[in-house]
Structure 1
Amino acid sequence: MQGNRVITIGREFGSSGREIGEKLAETLGINFYDKELIALASKESGLCPEVFEKQDEKPVNSFFYSLVMDTHGMGQPISGYMDVPLNQKVFLAQFDTIQKLAKKESCVIVGRCADYALASFPNVTSVFICGNMEDKVNRVAETFHMAKDKAMDLIAKTDKKRANYYNYYSNKKWGSAGSYDLCLNSTLTGVDGAVHIILEFLKAKDKENSAK
């Protein structure tokens, strides 16, 4: 196995993606990062956590993004972008934080185009968690104490935001099987079943790689 092991998890809202990621990390004995990335990126970039909360997983203007990424590719630090819009700074700060984490340790990272940020890293496995709508609506309604029609609306809006963000930054399609190493329906597997399947997938991947 080359480098630290990192599992990235994309997820539909209400599909238990976060819970699956947490249990997977616990089983593997590695750290789990979701909202935790906000605190780390805030500390390293000097931007306050509230800024990350507000701008988290939101797409940006394409012209400024191209300009910033061209500069960033040459090693320009985040703090040097004095004229860059705030949401670009947030994305780049999280991008840097994700890469630093992967260099430092094995971990599970949820959302935020982590699979794209780590595309050049040798030991990354990308997973997408989906679920049947009825199951997701029931879970969201119960979790947030809201009516089912409100839960369905929240799911649609949240997934649209996540898809726009992912599609914009990664040049891949959010939720499409071709964008990930493994896609799972948590309605069919349950949380524990999903964790088990991911673990077996990692074993099979390791075996295949060692045979090459």
Structure 2
Amino acid sequence: MSTNTIITIERQYGSGGHLIGEKLAESLGIPFYDSELIKVAAKESGICEEIFESFDEKPTTSFLYSLVMDPYSLGYNSNSFDLPLNHKVFLAAFDTIKELASKGPCVFVGRCADYALEDFDNCISVYVHAPFEDRIKRIENEYGIPNGKSKEMLMKKDKQRSSYYNYYSSNKWGDAKSYDLCLNSSYLGIDGSVDLIKKIIAMKESEK
């Protein structure tokens, strides 16, 4: 199956959203960007990769921390020098997402990509969720997180992603109104989720 569609995926921690995105991109033969986006954005902006990683999908940090870390980021867009560091990092990622999307179809996971591409009419936004207990089992089995820490880790990660998305986006993380498609990966499975997204893509492209 070939496509001209860009797919963005927001996901609950432990729902398998990364794997769904990866398999979808492989099946469609298009680029896949999750943490890979950090390397591209760092290279394009001149902000060091470690800075991107420290702010990646995390809520805003204190102004003092931004001030201390800021000298490492000088060089990105002289018009943004008066912005806090976390905003500079977000804008660099935002610009990179738009630039990559302008080159052709691809799959983005996280980082408010759906918000960055809201003006692209060839974009489908997806939210992947799953029951709490299923996600707990997944991060314990797949990520090797100990049973005693898995619940805390899951809640922390979800809170970070929610705070990041709600801060930078005009939409609300996890709200069905914010996305074109919401799917339960426990109900559909990883492959079933990929197949459903491909069917939605085919329907969208058949309308044009």
Name the TM-score, length of structure 1 as normaliser.
Answer: 0.86
- 2:172 corresponds to which letter in structure 1? K
Consecutive unaligned residues of structure 1, counting only runs of 5 or more, are 62-76
Alignment of 1:58-207 (within 5 A): 58-60=58-60, 78-80=76-78, 81-207=80-206
- 2:118 corresponds to which letter in structure 1? A
More moved, 14-23 vs 133-142 = 133-142
- 1:197 corresponds to which letter in structure 2? L
Rounded to whole Å, the distance in 2 between the matches of 1:104 and 1:145 is: 37
- 1:206 corresponds to which letter in structure 2? E
Quote the RMSD (CA, aligned, Å).
1.7
- 2:77 corresponds to which letter in structure 1? S
Rounded to whole Å, the distance in 2 between the matches of 1:174 and 1:149 is: 27
**Identity of counterpart residues, as a percentage?**
52
What's 2:16 paired with? Answer: 16
Consecutive unaligned residues of structure 2, counting only runs of 5 or more, are 62-74
- The question of whether the paired residues in 1 share the 8 Å contact of 2:166 and 2:172 is answered with yes
Rounded to whole Å, the distance in 1 between the matches of 2:38 and 2:145 is: 27
SS in 2 for 1:90: helix
Cα distance, 1:120 vs. partner?
0.6
What's 1:67 paired with? Answer: none
- The question of whether the paired residues in 1 share the 8 Å contact of 2:128 and 2:182 is answered with yes
- The question of whether the paired residues in 2 share the 8 Å contact of 1:31 and 1:107 is answered with yes
Query: Which runs of at least 4 in structure 1 moved beyond 4 Å after TM superposition?
Result: none
- The question of whether the paired residues in 1 share the 8 Å contact of 2:47 and 2:76 is answered with no
Cα distance, 1:140 vs. partner?
0.6
More moved, 149-158 vs 178-187 = 149-158
More moved, 124-133 vs 197-206 = 197-206
What's 1:48 paired with? Answer: 48
- 1:28 corresponds to which letter in structure 2? L
1:83-133 Cα deviation digits (max 9, x unpaired): 322111110000000000010121000000000000111100000000111
1:53-80 Cα deviation digits (max 9, x unpaired): 001113448xxxxxxxxxxxxxxx9421
- The question of whether the paired residues in 1 share the 8 Å contact of 2:30 and 2:107 is answered with yes
